[in-house]
Every structure is written in C-alpha cells, then in structure tokens.
C-alpha cells in the first residue's frame, strides 16, 4: 500500500498540546512556537485531540468528536476582529464573552463576514446542529450527562427538541458562532504553519465518550440499551501494567450498523480531522482488528473477550472517500500479527517508544536496530514520564543496558535519547517539548490510570535554553531530517 505523501521525506517533530503553550490558546504563543519549530528545522507539530473536554480536562474523553474546545480561542485575536469593540470584550467567562462578541458581530460585521459564518454553519451542519443542541440541553440540565436527562430529551423526541430549538434559538446561534471563531483561528494557525513548512499532526481516539454529542445523536451506532446505557464497554485485558486490566467505560461500536451505512459516521469524523490536520494518529489502533469487550456490569476488565472488528472494510471505505490516508497507528501494547498486517496493508507507520527499549535483550522491538522506516520513533509520549524523569527512576541494570547499547558517550540525558530518536531509521522522529527543555518528572502531562492533576502542564518561554534551536537544527541536518 502506498504511503501518504507526508512520508516522502525524513522529518522531525515536537509533541506539545495547545493547552501547554504559556497562554494555553491559539494566540500569539502558538505562532511563536511555529517560528521556534521552523528555526530548529522541525517540520511537524504534534498535539492531542482538540475537542471540548469534560471537567477532568482529558482530551481523550471529549463532548464531541468534531467540535473545537472554546477554551483554546484567543481572546486577544477575538478582540482584534474588525467588527469587535475590544473595550466591551473583557468578560472572564468564555461563554459570556462569546455572547458579547456575537452581538457585536451581528450589529457591526460586514456582509462578507456574515456570509462566511453562514457558509461555515452550512458546511458543518453534519455535526454542528446536534452539537450545539447537545451543549445547550446539557447546560439546561445542570451539566448532567445526556442519559440522565428527561426521557423525551434523552431519546430525542422531535417535538421536545423542536421546542428547545425555538425557545433557545439565540443561545444555539451563539454556540455556532463560538465554533466558527474556533475554526477560523485554527485555520489561520494551520495556514501560518504550512507556509513555514510545518505540518500539523493531530490525534483521534478510537472511541468516543459515552457522554458526548456523537453518542446522543446516533445511539444506534453504539452498544446501548433502551435507556442509553452501554451493554458492553471498551478496555484492555490484564497485562504487565495491571492485574485487572483497564476498564475505560466507553461504549463500543455497533459495527453491523456502521457497515450498513458504509461507515459514513467514520467518513464524517475523519473529514473534520483532515480539515484540521496534515497527519493524524489513531489512538488504540489495535481495536480496529479486534476489541476487548467487557460486559458493562463488570467493574474490572478481567471478564472481557476479544471481538473482531471490520478494520479492512472500514479503511477500504475511507480510502475510497479520501484517496490517501495520512494516518499513524498507535500500535503499543500486545500487538498480534493480524494487527500488524492491517496497519501495513494501509501504509500506516506504527509507533516506537525508546523508553520501552531497554532492560531486556536484543529482541526488544523498540531497540533502534529492530526498527524500520515505516514507523514514528518517540523518546516518550504524553502518557510517559519525561525522559529525564524516566532515566532518574531506572533500575541500575536497565541504566547499564542503556549505556552499553548506546556506547560510551559524555552526552547527558535527555539529549542522548533525543539524538537516538533523530538518528533512527524511522521516517518521523518526535520529541515531547518537556524533553527538549530537559525537564524532570514534575513536568509530566498525564499519568495513565489517575484522574487528578493531569493535562495541566504548561511551559514558559524563559525555560527555553539559549542556543537550543541551533542545537536541534544541527541534529536535524546531521540525520537528514531538515
């Protein structure tokens, strides 16, 4: 299978979510970061999913698979719009700020701007109408999950929904406007990055959150009972990391119904992501070959079973729709020959994590000599410790193996591992920003299996050492990644 064009040359990337920028939004810091990447010879910016999050802030359990997180909107850029009166756009609460902004837009924007808003609503109707209605209903029901709403709203009875559409018309329009502004700012940033040779690399979780607009809008595509509760949920079986496995709790797909619609739900989902990104990582790729199904009544993942998924049918349909699939498969964990065959058939590189490489023997698949071009090498990911934090916590025998393997060198961590990633045969090598800044374990983005204090990490520009762009550019040149 032919690779996507983005893999026609060796590249390097940096992993940094938008929320980890000093401002945490799509404003000036995002543009400055693109300039930083360009000056370092880095041509890929990888980030996490962009969707609106629940209270835990996890971008992997979003309220929509399509919408953008309004918290990422830059207030400064909003105030700079030609129709905006900046003095009146000061409200600290984003929802109220957007309501003020919309009223200014309505009264002062020119016809071209209003036409652009109208076209956006029309073009994205396939998800936008359900999303704004879902968010408004959630607001009216004190932020309760949709399956706890009154039955007529939970079950989408048209008369009940029409009543809300009529009574809350203005509020729904403001929510549409919020998405319009998010995507306008997003596309301005993407254009800026692409003009400077920087590709944007997104992330698409295989499953969607139970409490999401997607599941509420099309419940027949998921394994739900008549009350909207899942009958079977997703997770992974017991393994080296957990004796009871992981019970994620996401509802599973009703694959026969997806197949009957020729995977139209997936085509729409991928379409939204491809409008935003040049390359997309699919989280938990192995679930497209077979998925660990757990009865919803079970509190752990122990009593699940592997159930086949129609991966080939799905990706054939996506190839027909899009011509090429610029996708990277997150193929970590216990991967079978069937999963590898599915990934290779559609030309998707897999992932190699150097933090997983050491402490065993020469057959470890993550060791550099075991890697292939058809892969993306990372020092670590958003789910790992920082490389410095990881190295500091290693057992002596693992450290000894690492230094024996990488040879006698005076280069300190984490740059020793950064160099190893960049020198690898992988088409793409990606380094988390924390590693470029030589930060310790206190700067982790996420600790899997915990819910407190994740997804909050931010860097400051004064953390960036003098000369780092020249150092990184020299390595990119040395290893053919410029």
Q: How large is the average pLDDT for residues 9-38?
A: 98
Share the mean pLDDT of the chain: 96
Please report which confidence band the pLDDT of residue 239 belongs to, taking 50, 70 and 90 as the band edges.
confident
pLDDT of residue 124 exceeding 80: yes
Residue 124 contacts residue 178 (beta carbons within 8 Å): no
330: annotated active-site residue: yes
Write down the catalytic residue from 155, 218, 283, 344: 283
pLDDT given for residue 311 in this prediction = 97
Write down the catalytic residue from 203, 330, 427, 435: 330
Please report which confidence band the pLDDT of residue 240 belongs to, taking 50, 70 and 90 as the band edges.
confident
pLDDT of residue 452 exceeding 70: yes
Which is higher by pLDDT, 244 or 334? 244
278: annotated active-site residue: no
Please report which confidence band the pLDDT of residue 356 belongs to, taking 50, 70 and 90 as the band edges.
very high
Q: Where are the domains of the chain?
A: 9-47+350-482, 66-202, 218-348
pLDDT of residue 391 exceeding 90: yes
Tens-digit pLDDT profile for residues 271-289: 999 999 999 999 999 999 9
pLDDT of residue 155 exceeding 90: yes
pLDDT given for residue 1 in this prediction = 63
Please report which confidence band the pLDDT of residue 334 belongs to, taking 50, 70 and 90 as the band edges.
confident
């Amino acid at each position: 299978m032919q690779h996507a064009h983005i893999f026609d040359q060796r590249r390097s990337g940096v992993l940094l979510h938008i929320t980890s920028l000093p401002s945490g939004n799509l404003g000036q810091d995002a543009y400055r970061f693109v300039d930083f990447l360009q000056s370092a010879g880095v041509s890929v910016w990888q980030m996490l999913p962009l969707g609106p999050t629940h209270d835990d802030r996890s971008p992997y359990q979003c309220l929509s698979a399509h919408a953008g997180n309004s918290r990422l909107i830059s207030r400064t850029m909003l105030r700079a719009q030609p129709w905006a009166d900046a003095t009146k756009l000061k409200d600290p609460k984003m929802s109220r700020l957007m309501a003020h902004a919309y009223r200014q837009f309505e009264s002062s924007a020119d016809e071209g701007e209003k036409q652009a808003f109208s076209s956006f609503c029309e073009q994205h109707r396939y998800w936008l109408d359900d999303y704004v209605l879902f968010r408004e209903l959630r607001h009216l029901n004190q932020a309760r999950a949709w399956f706890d709403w009154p039955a007529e709203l939970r079950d989408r009875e048209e008369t009940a929904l029409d009543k809300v559409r009529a009574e809350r018309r203005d509020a729904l329009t403001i929510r549409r406007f919020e998405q319009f502004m998010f995507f306008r700012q997003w596309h301005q940033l993407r254009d800026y990055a692409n003009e400077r040779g920087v590709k944007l690399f997104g992330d698409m979780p295989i499953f969607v959150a139970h409490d999401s607009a997607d599941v509420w809008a099309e419940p027949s595509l998921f394994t739900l009972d008549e009350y909207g509760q899942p009958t079977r949920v997703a997770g992974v079986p017991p393994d080296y990391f957990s004796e009871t496995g992981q019970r994620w709790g996401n509802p599973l797909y009703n694959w026969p119904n997806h197949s009957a619609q020729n995977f139209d739900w997936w085509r729409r989902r991928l379409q939204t992501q491809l409008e935003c990104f040049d390359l997309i990582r699919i989280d938990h790729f192995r679930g497209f070959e077979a998925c660990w199904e757990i009865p919803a009544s079970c509190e752990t993942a122990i009593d699940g079973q592997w159930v086949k998924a129609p991966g080939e049918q799905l990706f054939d349909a996506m190839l027909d729709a899009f011509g090429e699939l610029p996708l990277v498969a997150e193929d970590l964990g216990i991967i079978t020959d069937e999963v590898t065959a599915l990934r290779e058939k559609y030309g998707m590189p897999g992932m190699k994590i150097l933090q997983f490489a050491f402490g065993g023997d020469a057959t470890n698949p993550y060791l550099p000599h075991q890697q292939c071009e058809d892969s993306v090498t990372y020092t670590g990911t958003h789910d790992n410790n920082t490389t410095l934090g990881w190295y500091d916590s290693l057992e002596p025998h693992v450290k000894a193996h690492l230094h024996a393997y990488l040879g006698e060198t005076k280069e300190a961590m984490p740059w020793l591992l950064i160099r190893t990633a960049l020198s690898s045969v992988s088409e793409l090598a990606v380094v988390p920003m924390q590693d470029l800044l030589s930060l310790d374990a206190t700067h982790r983005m996420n600790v899997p299996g915990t819910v407190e204090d994740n997804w909050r990490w931010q860097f400051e520009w004064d953390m960036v050492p003098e000369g780092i762009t020249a150092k990184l550019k020299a390595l990119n040149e040395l290893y053919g990644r410029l």
